Amino acid sequence: MVPFAWLCVAIVLGSMAAVLILNTTMASGAYERRDLKIEIASLHQERASLVTQLESNSSPQFLANEAADMGMVPAETLGFVSLKDAVVLESEGQ
């Protein structure tokens, strides 16, 4: 009778320990998931900001201003490269 009682106590203690370990593991996983969600939200904000900046920097007016700041001037004639003949063809006016 006594060995059976010890076996029952061991089973109960073992199952309680397993539940404690499982609960602790799940809690740490929940914290990690929360941290990852926060990081994803931050990255989405950063991406939106960078896309807005990229669109602003690629506008024709911004590019023209940057070119003027570097000393570039608008071309008086347009040129086309003929790959077949390996020459530059120019056309008058814009």
Per-block mean pLDDT, blocks of 10 residues, the chain (94 long)? 91 96 93 95 98 95 94 86 86 56
Find where tokens 């089973």 sit. 11
Quick one: which of 70, 77, 73 has its CA closest to 91? 77
Backbone angles phi and psi of 80, in degrees to 5: -125, 145
Number of structural domains, the chain? 1
pTM for this entry: 0.53
28: left (phi over 0), alpha (psi -120 to 50) or beta: alpha
Provide the domain limits for residue 54: 2-91
Backbone angles phi and psi of 18, in degrees to 5: -65, -40
